[in-house]
């Protein structure tokens, strides 16, 4: 793949470093599910790494391990050179569903992780709501917001403790196409302004290319890295980036890495 680089190990400047990661889930019938195998990956600071791959190839498993919500069966996963031992203030997670508490206001939902740690982050929460265009919705309840607005609240919640890493598991999958485009632009703006390192799982190859500094393509289960493509498109990306001839070329190249009927990606 042109512009593609295979994952490497031993890069000391990497913020996230994964080496020889294996994950097997025990099952009741005794045959473990081999979810991930031989994953080696280095993610530098401030990179947005998109991840695509067939359903069930271990993308969410990888994210949960990075979030400290699951553990490797073997191999090493470090952030800033330190092994992950559990959820960290320095890592924010956004899932497909916003999962806001319906009985709490937007502001209180954003403040949840901060309060759990005994921190007063009201000003930061308001700044974030302003950043995502929800300044005037702080005292509303989730049912008064559209799906896209709720997801923006979930992003603010993930960022309220100022994590340097954002892990996003198909965060815009449930949104309509227009809102999704707006959220993509929003994410690009947030990353440019806030200098986050972001790992972004998606089923959409165009979304992966549009957002990513690199796109990691995984094989069917047990998931391993099939390819990592560096996306050489000018930044900041705008909707016009999708009209760039290279954009279509990257999408086509990544698509060709997929094969077989199990490919679960949107073209």
Q: Which residues make up the interface to ligand ADP (CB under 6 A)?
A: 25, 33, 35, 53, 55-61, 221
Q: Which is nearer to ligand ADP, 180 or 221 (CB)?
A: 221
Give CA separation, 243 vs 120, 202, 212, 238, 248, in Å: 44, 20, 16, 10, 8
Report the alpha-carbon distance of residue 35 to residue 185 in Å, rounded: 32
Q: Which is nearer to ligand ADP, 35 or 190 (CB)?
A: 35
Q: Which is nearer to ligand ADP, 16 or 134 (CB)?
A: 16
Q: Which is nearer to ligand ADP, 58 or 148 (CB)?
A: 58
Measured from the CB of residue 58, what is the shortest distance to ligand ADP in angstroms?
4
Q: Which is nearer to ligand ADP, 66 or 131 (CB)?
A: 66
Measured from the CB of residue 22, what is the shortest distance to ligand ADP in angstroms?
12
Give CA separation, 181 vs 84, 110, 185, 242, in Å: 33, 23, 6, 11
Q: Which is nearer to ligand ADP, 127 or 264 (CB)?
A: 264
Report the alpha-carbon distance of residue 50 to residue 168 in Å, rounded: 9
Measured from the CB of residue 26, what is the shortest distance to ligand ADP in angstroms?
8
Give CA separation, 230 vs 48, 81, 157, 174, in Å: 11, 24, 30, 27
Measured from the CB of residue 70, what is the shortest distance to ligand ADP in angstroms?
7
Measured from the CB of residue 205, what is the shortest distance to ligand ADP in angstroms?
15
Measured from the CB of residue 4, what is the shortest distance to ligand ADP in angstroms?
21
């Amino acid at each position: 793949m042109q512009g593609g680089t295979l994952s490497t190990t031993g890069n000391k400047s990497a913020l996230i470093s994964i080496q020889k990661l294996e994950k097997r889930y025990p099952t009741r019938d005794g045959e473990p599910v081999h979810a991930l195998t031989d994953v080696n990956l280095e993610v530098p600071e401030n990179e947005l790494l998109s991840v695509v791959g067939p359903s069930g190839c271990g993308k969410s498993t990888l994210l949960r391990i990075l979030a400290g919500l699951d553990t490797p069966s073997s191999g090493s996963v470090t952030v800033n050179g330190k092994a992950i031992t559990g959820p960290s203030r320095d890592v924010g997670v956004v899932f497909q569903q916003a999962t806001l508490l319906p009985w709490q206001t937007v502001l209180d939902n954003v403040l949840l992780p901060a309060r759990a740690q005994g921190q007063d982050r009201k000003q930061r929460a308001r700044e974030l709501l302003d950043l995502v265009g929800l300044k005037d919705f702080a005292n509303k309840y989730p049912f008064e917001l559209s799906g896209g607005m709720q997801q923006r609240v979930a992003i603010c919640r993930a960022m309220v403790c100022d994590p340097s890493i954002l892990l996003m598991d198909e965060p815009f999958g449930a949104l309509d196409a227009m809102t999704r485009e707006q959220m993509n632009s929003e994410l690009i703006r947030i990353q440019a302004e806030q200098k986050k390192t972001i790992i972004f799982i998606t089923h959409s190859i165009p979304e992966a290319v549009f957002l990513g500094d690199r796109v990691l393509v995984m094989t069917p289960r047990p998931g391993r890295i099939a390819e990592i493509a560096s996306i050489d498109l000018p930044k900041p990306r705008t909707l016009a980036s999708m009209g760039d001839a290279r954009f279509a070329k990257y999408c086509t190249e990544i698509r060709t890495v997929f094969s077989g009927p199990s490919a679960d990606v949107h073209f």
